[in-house]
Structure formats: structure tokens, C-alpha cells
């Protein structure tokens, strides 16, 4: 279909160039491009912040620009440690669950500057945009602070309201491990996503986290999970990814990442 479209554009361009009318040629090209053009997943996911992505530049709505693809070949560890914006979409986020393949960590590759641009460059800036979520008001009844940027607070409140009506799930949701916490990921120089107020760790008592069981030089720990997929599906409906879909599993961790739930993916 795409090939057909491209050859069709080629035919039109060739046809129009016979008449030597360059302006007309440009007009046809841009009108055909418009018909084929689908906004980039990041533009669809963050329409209030991102204007467009073209010629390898991400154009922010405030006039700033970021390099989209640094054109550096990276292995998995390098993608995690030093990703460009493009690398963040390397692993598609699966809609169903199966045990993750080796190093399959959809959403765990994150460009820190990208999130700083939207949610705040410093602890103080992020804190200025935090708002309250009433976590399971009729049962757990706890106040949590998350970012109001991109309506993360409203999304989490809706998740909370749904979970509140499902008592068989409440033991997994009591004593949540935390939301906003400006800190580095243990043993790294990278900021945890908890720094941006877009995540929640649910009850640590039922959590499995690879860092708790992995020992340097030993085999990578086997995947383990105790969190019901019923909870995961409720979070995913509101575009929070789950750390239980990662090879480097972190099953208490949910994170607002709408770009990973869109129907359009890059070729
Ligand atoms: Zn977490």
C-alpha cells in the first residue's frame, strides 16, 4: 500500500514536471504528504508539549528543540544508560502478558531530559506541579502527591476510584510504596521516574523486584510476580505501564507513559 502510494506520488511529480511548473509540483507533493501523514506517537501522547518531529528534530511548543535520534548504535545497556528520545520507543509495550524475553523492558529506556522538559528540571520545579490524589478513599484512604502535568493526577484518581470498588484487590494497594520522590536509581546516575511524580509503587509486601534478588556475577533472577493482572489492566486503561512486563521486573511499579499505548507505531 505504502509502495503504491509512493509510486503514485512519483508519477504525479513526473507528470507535473513535464509542464515545468515547480510551484504546482510542490503543491501536489505537500497535499499528498498531508494525506499520508500520521502524527508521531510522542506528538499524539503529549499534544500540549510537543508540536512536531521532523528532520530528526523534536519541536517543543515553547519553541525549544531537542535532537530526536543521536544516530549512535547502542547495545541494550547503552540504550538504558544513555538513550536518545527515539530509543524510548525501541520495545513496543505488549497489550497482553507473557513472561518477558531477555532484556525486553518496554518503557524502561527513558531520556531524562525529555521528562525534565515536561515535568520539571529540579525537585522544586516538579514539586510546584504536584497535586493530591485520594487513594482508595472508601478503604485505604490515603493522600498521594503526583504531577498535575498531562493530567497524571486525574488519571491516577480515576484508577483509584475504580480500584476502590474492588475489595478483593485492596491488600495489594494498601500502604503504597510511594509516588513522588526526587532521587537517583540505586547504583546509577540516572534519575528515577519517581522524581517526576508520574509513578506509583503499590504495596511493597507483594512486590517482586529484580534488584532485591540479583547478585553481581550470578545468573539473572527468574521472573516472579504476585500482582493480579486485573490491577494491571485498570492502570493500563489509563496509560500507566507496568514494571511487571519487564525482564528487569519491578512488579509494584506503575508509570504514566501514554506514548506506549498508541495504535500507530514507527516503521
Ligand atoms: Zn517504582
Closest C-alpha to 45, from 120, 192, 199, 150: 150
Going by C-beta distance under 8 Å and a sequence separation of 6 or more, which residues neighbour residue 78?
72
Q: What is the per-residue pLDDT across 58-86, written as a single tens digit (0 to 9) for each?
A: 999 999 999 999 999 999 999 999 999 99
Q: How far is the CA of 52 from the centre of ligand 1 (A)?
A: 30
Q: How far is the CA of 252 from the centre of ligand 1 (A)?
A: 6
Q: How far is the CA of 198 from the centre of ligand 1 (A)?
A: 10
186-190: average pLDDT: 86
Q: How far is the CA of 204 from the centre of ligand 1 (A)?
A: 10
Q: How far is the CA of 94 from the centre of ligand 1 (A)?
A: 19
Query: Which residues share a beta bridge with 191?
Result: 184
Sign, CA torsion 217/226/187/73:
positive
Sign, CA torsion 81/108/214/199:
positive
pTM: 0.85
- The CATH label, of 3.30.1380, 3.30.70, 1.20.1070, 1.10.260, for the domain at 91-261 is 3.30.1380
Q: Is the pLDDT of residue 134 over 50?
A: yes
Q: How far is the CA of 51 from the centre of ligand 1 (A)?
A: 30
Q: How far is the CA of 259 from the centre of ligand 1 (A)?
A: 19
Residues with CB under 5 A from ligand 1 (ion): 201, 253
Which cell goes with 131?
497535586
Name which of 36-40, 117-121, 137-141 the model is least confident about.
36-40
Going by C-beta distance under 8 Å and a sequence separation of 6 or more, which residues neighbour residue 49?
60, 61, 117, 118, 150
Q: Please state the domain extents for the chain.
A: 2-36, 91-261
Q: What is the per-residue pLDDT across 84-113, written as a single tens digit (0 to 9) for each?
A: 999 999 999 999 999 999 999 999 999 999
Amino acid at each position: 500500500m505504502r509502495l503504491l502510494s509512493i509510486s503514485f506520488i512519483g508519477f504525479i511529480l513526473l507528470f507535473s514536471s513535464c509542464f515545468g511548473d515547480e510551484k504546482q509540483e510542490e503543491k501536489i507533493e505537500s497535499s499528498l504528504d498531508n494525506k499520508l501523514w500520521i502524527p508521531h506517537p510522542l506528538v499524539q501522547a503529549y499534544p500540549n508539549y510537543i508540536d512536531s518531529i521532523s528532520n530528526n528534530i523534536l519541536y517543543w511548543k515553547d519553541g525549544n528543540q531537542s535532537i530526536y535520534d543521536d544516530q549512535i548504535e547502542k547495545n541494550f545497556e547503552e540504550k538504558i544508560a544513555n538513550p536518545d528520545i527515539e530509543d524510548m520507543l525501541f520495545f513496543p509495550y505488549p497489550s497482553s502478558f507473557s513472561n518477558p524475553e531477555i532484556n525486553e523492558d518496554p518503557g524502561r529506556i527513558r531520556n531524562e531530559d525529555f521528562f525534565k522538559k515536561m515535568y520539571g528540571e529540579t525537585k522544586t520545579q516538579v514539586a510546584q506541579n504536584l497535586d493530591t490524589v485520594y487513594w482508595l478513599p472508601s478503604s485505604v484512604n490515603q493522600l498521594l502527591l503526583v504531577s498535575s502535568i498531562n493530567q497524571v493526577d486525574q488519571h491516577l484518581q480515576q484508577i483509584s476510584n475504580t480500584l476502590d470498588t474492588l475489595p478483593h484487590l485492596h491488600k495489594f494497594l494498601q500502604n503504597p510504596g510511594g509516588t513522588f520522590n526526587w532521587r537517583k536509581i540505586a547504583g546509577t546516575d540516572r534519575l528515577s521516574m519517581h522524581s517526576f511524580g508520574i509513578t506509583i509503587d503499590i504495596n511493597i509486601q507483594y512486590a517482586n523486584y529484580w534488584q532485591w534478588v540479583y547478585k553481581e556475577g550470578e545468573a539473572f533472577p527468574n521472573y516472579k510476580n504476585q500482582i493480579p493482572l486485573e490491577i494491571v489492566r485498570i492502570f493500563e486503561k489509563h496509560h500507566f505501564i507496568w514494571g511487571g512486563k519487564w525482564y528487569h521486573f519491578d512488579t509494584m511499579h506503575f508509570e504514566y507513559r501514554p506514548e506506549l499505548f498508541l495504535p500507530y507505531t514507527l516503521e
